[in-house]
Chain A
Amino acid sequence: MRNRINQFSPDADMSYYRRIQILRERKLEDTKDKASYWSFADGDDYGAITPPEDYKFEPIPNHENGSFYGYEGWSRNFYKLMSEHPIHIDPCDAFANRWMNCLSWIRHENGINQFNPDYSYDHLRPEQEKYGIVSGIGSDAHFGGDYSIGLSLGWGGLLEKLEHYRKINPEHNEFYDAEVLTIKGIQVWMERTVREIEKAIEIETHPVLRENLEQMRECNEYLINGAPRTLREACQWICWFNMASREYNRDGAGCQLDEILRPYYERDLEAGIITPDEAKYYIACLLLNDPHYYQLGGLSPDGKDMVSYFSYMILEAADWLDSSCNITVRVHDGMDMDFLRKAVYYLFKNKNGWPRFSGDKALSEGFMKKGYPASLARQRVAVGCHWMSLPGLEYTLNDCVKINCAKVFRLSLDEMMAGEGEKSTKALFEIYRKHMRRAVEVTAEGIRFHLKYQVYNEPELMLNLISHGPVEKGLDIVDGGAMYYNMCIDGTGIATVADSFAALEQRIEKEKRLTWEEMYEVLSSNFQGMDGEYIRRMLASSERYGGGNTLADRWAVRINEHFTEDVNSMDGDGVKFIPGWFSWSNTITLGKAVKATPNGRRDYEPINHGANPHPGFRKDGALTAMSNTICSVQPGYGNTAPIQLELDPGMARDEEGIQKVCDYILTIFDQGATLLNINIINADEILAANENPDLYPDLVVRVTGFTAYFCLLTPEFRQLVVDRIIKAS
């Protein structure tokens, strides 16, 4: 943890913009520190910084296995974490503190992150293993809260609310005790922070920074109990919630940022206590504090465009910061086209992988097919890697549950080849369908298990506070506190499977270049030898997923249709299941569970990334062909199968170029796409960065749904990103 106090001479330029520049440079230093400290690579960039070297958190166990569980375990440990948490003050920053660790990671580092052993799901494990299911059991966060609850009440108001409902639900005292202790912990951290700010004021000699520290102190002293009144206070409160929630369990879901903050700005403007640059400074500092996921624009529940001048200001603030950021622009018919063009302009200007873009039409219409009205569907905002959430209303396990369809495929192929029956893609598909159906059933069972027992494992003490229901009912959001349970089940490896079916159909059945037995022998040997490699390349150059109405594209449509049908059929008992296609950064780990596949993939190599094709899917790598394919495999019920693109910086060097990119974006969302992630990078740059990542400390890439500093990714994952970009170029 670096000392940032009194680092400038009293006459140094400290305009708002200059302060953001300094903070940006400091973030690069922090990123470098994290590279050597962090044990969790291949994940998001965070606003976290490294703690002091002598800092170590010792958890308080409440179980004989040395771990802690349930309301009591988590609240006590969170309170301890907050009480001991180091304080970081940067006089250039509008806001106090940074987060540095989280209880979920602490449990992992200490080897105590097992699901509460008092509740066993051993009966599910064999089939979870068989089908490569990432069950989601014990996963946390991954749904969005409603920030307006916390902003309207403040921590003091939340405590009052808890006491109010405790009287109504006395049987849930354990819940209320835990929630009260959680807030108390945050308040202790805030109080300690205010003391540190006071010390910093004594030391800081730059008059502007000293004044900033005074305001910081005043703001935070008030916010210990008070509800935010100004834009600065609102942003600082959001920072506190975000930091505390990250510290609790890495929650990174944000909100509809423009509409949440705009009223505060307008009140400040009316009161004559803010300027636009000051507002941008606050927004930039908020974005710096942590790259939580925020949405801009979209439709209000009654169908009006939510883009406002404040939405533009947020983009401008993000441009000032020029760092990693997870802003999503919601695209819809009749949207402010200048805003879309501005968003695309910043995407190409800063090359940080933001904004990304979500498609209102497919998302809303899809979610409505699960029985929800349009007004609700429009509120389901982009607040996660590849996911949407109804603020404070639903529990989802988004991005936590994966079925390894490539593994299901391979075991189906093994079964067919071992049997006496027909050898054909028709027969193979029937076996695959049978196993996929069972995999979905097992997955749904696992989710139901999680819903039943997760409260005894890890309650959602932070997100409960800004959800509608838990406090009112005295029940954790997992345990009946939520309004809706819309559980996400993602398939992975769609391209791996589709390409494999297509290769078998083309090379064996149509062209008769080899037999089933020859193929299987070569596959089982992992394509050994010259003959094996020849056949591997033959299979790999079959008609590919993403090529544009190819054999593999048609297989993918069938695979998706059945997967979607299977997932939807699991609905019942107040729980709905929503399918998607997304691997997050599990592309490598999921691949390690699968031996060679007939698409030419060798043993344990990565499966395809999300819903994207395997690299080299088409000679010209045409975006439109790939996009059409991904549009055709959208499950269509409100969750996403994102498109991940790499675009050359030269593509939008003028207004005409920007317009063409906008036209592309509008067209794909018309065609049913749900989410679009874009990296602006060229092949030379990424190759050089892969060679010497340390020389590119500020290279940010959107990896899957999240942004990360390239230098912080593991070499294996960097190579995955490089391969995708090189082939695309």
Chain B
Amino acid sequence: MITNIQRFSLNDGPGIRTTVFFKGCNLSCKWCHNPETLSLTPQLLVYPDKCMGCGACMQVCPKGALQVVEGKITLDRKLCDNCGKCTGVCFSGTLEMAGTEMSVSDMMWEIEQDIPYYNRSGGGVTLSGGEVLLQPELARELLKACKEKGIHTAIETNLCYDFGVLEYLAPYLDLIMADIKVYDNDLHKEMTGQGNDLIFDNVRRLDELDIPYILRTPVIPGVNDNEKEISALSRLAGEGKNLLYYELLNFNPLGGSKYDGLDMENHFYEARPLPEARLENLKNIALQNCSSVRVG
């Protein structure tokens, strides 16, 4: 189950890449800018402002979950089972399904179109999400298919899963990008739904895989954008032998409309990216513990 294949990705690894977003995540980070990837099952996103009030969706909904009220569609999520029939007759962009079963061959049909760009730029394919490790068979099959075509492969992972799954994917992986989000365990639990013990244990085991990796911290205003957190996280990052670099990623405010579309609460809807100077400051702190630090 994936949500999207995004071509010409410039921020998901080296070179020009195609990013495949897996659906489903075992964390629920409050700042997530891809909220449609959190649930493992398909979800209907609704954008009433785009609705033209034609009522075509109502006619096909088997659950009667859709109503046109004052010219705009409304959805009763208690009735909706996310079957997606309505999206097949909605052409205004009001109703959108997040999550589709897609075969590896179909994904490769899209992916292979950009092989010349990967080759020139040292790019390739990145599996992201959501959390890739939750769908190990799909991930492995896709990575293997990419390697058969000579495509560089990478994953973005929260590392909050059985390390064995990483070992299972390793033969077809060229790069791992992993998030280390919050050092304080209680705060980590509060902000993501899980503690960080397993994550940090897995970070310390990454060198066993003999695959280069990048460790990244999304810098979230009011959460970890302070010296204590960045100092500790960068110290953890600096322990790695195969670490390519540690990266501080500025808070990404995009995705707000997706929260609205899913009727989900956006805890960070007012937050803004940190000023450049602030990030530089945090970078300098990180450099005390880690020889290679980037800001993204």
Task: List chain A positions with a Cβ less than 8 A from chain B.
Answer: 530, 533-534, 537-538, 540-541, 548-549, 619-620, 622-625, 628, 651, 657, 659-660, 663-664, 666-667, 670-671
Contact = CB atoms under 8 A, between A and B. Distances in A.
B7 A622 contact: yes
Nearest to B117: A667
B54 A664 contact: no
Q: Interface range on chain B: under 10, 10 to 19, 20 to 34, or 35 or more?
A: 20 to 34
A660 B113 contact: no
A624 B120 CA distance: 13
12 contacts: A530-B52, A530-B53, A534-B56, A540-B91, A541-B91, A620-B8, A623-B8, A624-B16, A625-B7, A659-B121, A663-B16, A670-B116
Contacts of B122: 663
A644 to B, nearest CB: 16
B113 A530 contact: no
B120 A530 contact: no
Nearest to A657: B10
Contacts of A620: 4, 6-8
Contacts of A664: 8, 16, 117, 121
Contacts of A530: 52-54
Contacts of B116: 667, 670-671
Contacts of B15: 660, 663
Nearest to A618: B7
Contacts of B52: 530, 533-534, 537
B230 to A, nearest CB: 20
Given A530-B54, A537-B52, A620-B7, A548 B91 contact: no
A530 B56 CA distance: 11
A548 B117 contact: no
A660 B10 contact: yes
A651 B16 CA distance: 12
Contacts of A659: 121
Given A663-B117, A663-B120, A664-B16, A622 B8 contact: yes
Interface in B51-74: 52-54, 56
Interface of B: 4, 6-8, 10, 15-16, 52-54, 56, 91-92, 109-110, 113-114, 116-117, 120-123
A654 to B, nearest CB: 9
Nearest to B122: A663
A543 to B, nearest CB: 13
A685 B113 CA distance: 32
Contacts, number: 68
A537 B50 CA distance: 12
B276 to A, nearest CB: 10
Contact of A667 (B4, B10, B121): B121
A625 to B, nearest CB: 6
A625 B113 contact: yes
Contacts of B91: 534, 537-538, 540-541
B193 to A, nearest CB: 29
Contacts of B56: 534
A666 B121 CA distance: 9
Given A534-B56, A663-B120, A548 B110 contact: yes
A628 B15 CA distance: 18
A236 B234 CA distance: 59
A651 B116 CA distance: 20
A660 B7 contact: no
A667 B56 CA distance: 44
A628 B7 CA distance: 12
Contacts of A623: 7-8
A660 B11 CA distance: 10
Nearest to A625: B7
A548 B7 contact: yes
A657 B294 CA distance: 13
A512 to B, nearest CB: 14
Contact of B120 (A537, A548, A657, A670): A670
Nearest to A670: B116
B10 A624 contact: no
Contact of B54 (A534, A548, A657, A670): A534
A620 B52 CA distance: 23
Residue of B4, B91, B110, B123 with highest tally of chain A CB at under 10 A: B91
A540 B90 CA distance: 12
Given A663-B120, A670-B120, A628 B113 contact: yes
Q: Quick one: which of A541, A549, A620 has the most chain B CB within 10 A?
A: A620
A549 B113 contact: yes
Contacts of B117: 624, 663-664, 667
Contacts of A538: 91
Residue in B7, B15, B54 whose Cβ sees the most chain A Cβ within 10 Å? B7
Given A628-B114, A666-B120, 14 more contacts: A530-B53, A537-B52, A537-B92, A538-B91, A620-B4, A620-B6, A622-B7, A622-B8, A623-B8, A624-B8, A624-B16, A663-B117, A663-B120, A670-B120
Nearest 7 CB-CB pairings of A with B? A663-B121, A622-B7, A537-B91, A667-B120, A538-B91, A622-B8, A624-B8
A664 B8 CA distance: 9
Contacts of A622: 6-8
A543 B56 CA distance: 21
Contacts of B7: 548, 620, 622-625
A332 to B, nearest CB: 14
Contacts of B113: 548-549, 624-625, 628
A657 B8 CA distance: 12
Contacts of A671: 116
A157 B112 CA distance: 60
A549 B108 CA distance: 13
Contacts of B92: 537
Contacts of A533: 52, 54
A506 to B, nearest CB: 12
A9 to B, nearest CB: 38
A671 to B, nearest CB: 6
A628 B114 CA distance: 8
Nearest to A538: B91
A619 B7 CA distance: 10
A540 B117 CA distance: 29
A703 B23 CA distance: 40
